[in-house]
Amino acid sequence: MGKAVIEQCVLCGTSFKYGVKQYDGQYLPHYEMFLCEGCYRSNQGGIAFFFEKKFVLHLESKGISKPERNSNGIYPR
């Protein structure tokens, strides 16, 4: 019982199931951010430049300070 919880990927905007029995994405507690499975995987080495503006807007909306850039010059996932 219980209906599926739908969350939205902060980066690409895709909606996906996150509960009760099906989890098609990931939650990153340090950023208070949901990512679809595709974005989670493709940004493994850090948040791609392509998505950086959205990522920073998300952090600002949550009042989370920006992390240090990693050795690739992007924000770590």
* Site size toward Zn ion, by CB under 5 A: 6
Q: Is 47 in the site for Zn ion (CB under 5 A)?
A: no
Separation between Cα atoms, residue 20 and residue 30, nearest integer Å: 22
Q: Is 10 in the site for Zn ion (CB under 5 A)?
A: no
Q: Is 33 in the site for Zn ion (CB under 5 A)?
A: no
CA torsion sign for 23, 27, 33, 37 is negative
Min separation Cβ 61 and Zn ion, Å: 17
Strand pairing of 6-8 and 15-17?
antiparallel
Binding site residues, Zn ion, CB under 5 A? 9, 11-12, 14, 36, 39
